[in-house]
Structure 1
Amino acid sequence: MRIIGLLVFSVAFLFADLIDVYRTQGIEAVKEKLEQQLQEKSYWDKFLEKKDIKYGYYESTKFLILVDKKTKELKVYKKIDNKFSKIAQDSVIVGEKPGDKQVEGDLKTPEGVYELTSKLTKLDPFYGPLALVTSYPNTFDKAQKKNGHGIWIHGMPLNEKREEFTQGCIALDNPNLQNLDKHIDINESLVLISKETITEVNKEDISSILSFIYKWKDAWRKSDIKKYLSFYSKDFKRFDGLGLEGFAKYKERIFSRKENKTIIFSNINIVPYPNSLNKKMFKVLMDEKYRTKNYKFDGKKELFIELKNDRIEILTEG
């Protein structure tokens, strides 16, 4: 009861504070006050107190498909009442060669986080009744100059046996594949493929990342080029290979216009990112609404970030 009372008092105090800011300084000052609040880690610490974040933070993703290449297991989790519950666990087969996929034909299964882009049903019987297509290569893969395509979650041959490995895809028994397809929505699913079991996430990291996102957005919104670029790693690479120096020059030209900007993020998802670089990484996937006088954008925004030595840095952006 004491905690609830303190929380009510804090909310009431903040509300009263905002009313006073509005009364004396106007609505724009209230907006600025709220923007500042979103940049505070302490705000997100409180926000996450009762959230289940051991597999990441998700506002729009409802299904997680975790593939462990070492144990050759696939686990499916569904978000129920803001918690992820395991709804399936199956054995799978993966690429013939160990390690992270780098190039077309290397017979390796990639490591990373992927969306499901489509479902295929008119297939060669070798692949079973259906296949779920992943988004490999993703933005980070392209920045790392990885190539190849056609990484699927598919089934087994309908009328024959097959070897105990694939050319890079993930394969499971047909009844289990059909059960997976039945119980997920591919538009609300993410696939996490790792070389071994993914370490559970802690709330300190998630609250730090949420605070980071809004600090980065604030620098962007205000065209503060020095502060904005401080969020990027010296090893930054855009999906098209553009490095930090070229990216900085491009942004300097845009920021020099000093345009008024509206930037709104929604449906934020923060996903632990398995990788073969031994980095502590996360993928941030969110919806972005961007407006200036002469330009507007509504679409997806991706950040691939690294947590290192108490810093967060953007490695790749899309």
Structure 2
Amino acid sequence: MVKPLLISLLATSLFSAESLMFYKSGGKKLFDSQMNIPSYWAGTLFNKDLRFGYFERTCSLLACSKDKGILELYMPDAQKHFSLKKRFNAFTGKNAGDKLAAGDLKTPIGIYTLVERKRQVDPFYGPMAFVTSYPNLYDRIRGKNGTGIWVHGVPLSGTRDPFTKGCIAINNNDLIQLDQTINPANTLLIIDSSLKQGVSPSSYSAIIAGLHQWKYAWTYNDLDTYLASYDPSFKRADGMNLAQFKAYKERIFSKNEDKSILLDHLNIIPYPGEKRNLFWVTFNQLYISDSHKFEGEKSLLVRLNPNQSISILTEE
């Protein structure tokens, strides 16, 4: 087995001249290739809390079940195990189903960030509000529209209907408590009709391995394998379809540049809704080549296929 050999070599002489020679003469590529195998990641998932996804970047979670009319706050401990901190009664959109367009009175189904904390709002919305990132990347490529999906309170005076135009509304005291508890910049909002059961560890192993296979092909200029990770329906955030993306990447790969690509702070979250095989993937990427350098957050929507490979549907 290559993997035990590499681990033994690196563990016994990590800084030796022999190890450095092995690394420079092709050992790095050999070691990188092991990360493309799902079984390589099995140990990484041991004792992980996978109820909501695979998280390397710690964050708080707000989970909204529209059918039950609840909003739950989960927070991680030092081991990234999530515990329920508070359950709030919540109003959601008047109409059932996923939001498609402005004015349809539906609360969207998806994964969102809290992009703004609004202190000055109309008294109808209570003492304050959190603005969500709807429409997200996946919403936009599907042509969904509308804006102004908030998590807010209830009127400071008078009464209101037991539903919203698409927002999530909770009791004002609960909203104030939530505001005092979370950091909006480090909180994800997961909205579904009803909260789903967890995904098997083997699915996460396959996705992580698939991401490393994609990175491996990118790093070592294997264009065919790289493009095989993209779904025929692929559409990039800027609207580029797969044919346009392929032509663009062919020009880049033809330079045959040496590249260094690092991925860290990986999060993989099952995407809410009916399609249980879709996953929202985010990570920090550092890309360095002779002609270009990029460092920042990357977002992908991937499908886990029956053969355990991944297909990228969109990226930003």
TM-score strictly above 0.5: yes
2:19 paired residue number: 22
C-alpha contact 1:142 1:240 (8 A) present in aligned 2: no
Q: What amino acid sits opposite 1:287 in the alignment?
A: N
User: Secondary structure at the residue paired with 2:143?
Assistant: coil
Q: 1:3 maps to what in 2?
A: none
Aligned-residue CA RMSD (Å): 2.1
Measure, in 2, the Cα distance between the counterparts of 1:28 and 1:146: 50
Paired residues for 1:188-267 under 5 Å: 188-267=186-265
**CA positional deviation for 1:16:** 4.1
- Please give the alpha-carbon distance, in whole angstroms, between the structure 2 residues aligned to 1:181 and 1:101: 26
SS in 2 for 1:61: coil
Equivalent AA in structure 1 for residue 33 of structure 2: Q
Counterpart Cα distance in 2 of 1:122 and 1:34: 54
Q: 2:175 aligns with which of 165, 174, 177?
A: 177
Residue type of the alignment partner of 1:43: Y
Question: Are residues 29 and 125 of structure 1, via their aligned partners in 2, closer, same or farther at CA, if it must alter by over 3 Å?
Answer: same
Say whether the 8 Å CA contact 2:73–2:86 is kept in structure 1.
yes
Deviations 1:280-301 (A, max 9, x none): 2110011111112222111110
Alpha-carbon offset, residue 162 of structure 1: 0.6
Partner in structure 2 of residue 139 of structure 1 = 137
Residue 300 in structure 1 maps to residue 301 in structure 2 = no
CA contact (8 A) 1:61 1:190 kept: no
| Aligned AA (2:84) | K
Q: Output the CA distance in 1 between the equivalents of 2:23 and 2:40.
A: 23
Aligned-partner SS, 1:117: strand
Give the one of 48, 73, 77 matched to 2:74.
77
Query: Which 5+ residue runs of structure 2 have no aligned equivalent?
Result: none
Native 8 Å contact 1:61 1:189 kept in 2: no
Deviation per CA, 1:82-123: give whole Å up to 9, x if none. Answer: 211110111101111111111111111111111111100111
CA contact (8 A) 1:273 1:283 kept: yes
Task: Report the number of matched residues.
Answer: 310
The reply to whether residue 285 of structure 1 matches residue 282 of structure 2 is yes
Q: Hey, what does 2:43 align to over in structure 1?
A: 46
Q: For the residues of structure 2 that align with 1:13 and 1:74, how far apart are their CA atoms?
A: 50
Residue 241 of structure 1, CA deviation:
3.0
Partner Cα separation in structure 2 for residue 26 and residue 285 of structure 1: 29
1:87 pairs with one of 66, 85, 88: 85
The one-letter code of the counterpart of 2:69 is K
Aligned to 1:66: 63
CA shift, 1:230, in A, is 0.6
Q: Quote the sequence identity (%).
A: 38
Given the alignment of the two structures, is residue 57 of structure 1 paired with residue 54 of structure 2, yes or no? yes
2:184 paired residue among 183, 186, 198:
186
Conserved in 2, the CA contact under 8 Å of 1:143 and 1:240? no
The corresponding residue for 1:153 is: 151
Cα displacement (A) at 1:264: 1.0
Structure 1 residue runs of 5 or longer lacking an equivalent are: 1-7
SS in 2 for 1:196: coil
Deviations 1:127-184 (A, max 9, x none): 1111111111111111111111111111111112111111111110011111111111
User: Which whole-Å CA distance do the structure 2 matches of 1:102 and 1:224 have between them?
Assistant: 38
Deviation of 1:212 after TM superposition, in Å, equals: 0.9
**1:9 shift after superposition:** 11
TM-score, length of structure 2 as denominator length: 0.92
What is the CA–CA distance in structure 2 between the aligned matches of 1:290 and 1:59, rounded to whole Å?
A: 19
CA contact (8 A) 2:279 2:301 kept: yes
Answer yes or no: is 1:123 the counterpart of 2:121: yes
| 1:77 Cα offset (Å) | 0.7
**Partner Cα distance (1:180, 1:210) in 2:** 33
User: Residue type of the partner of 1:49?
Assistant: F
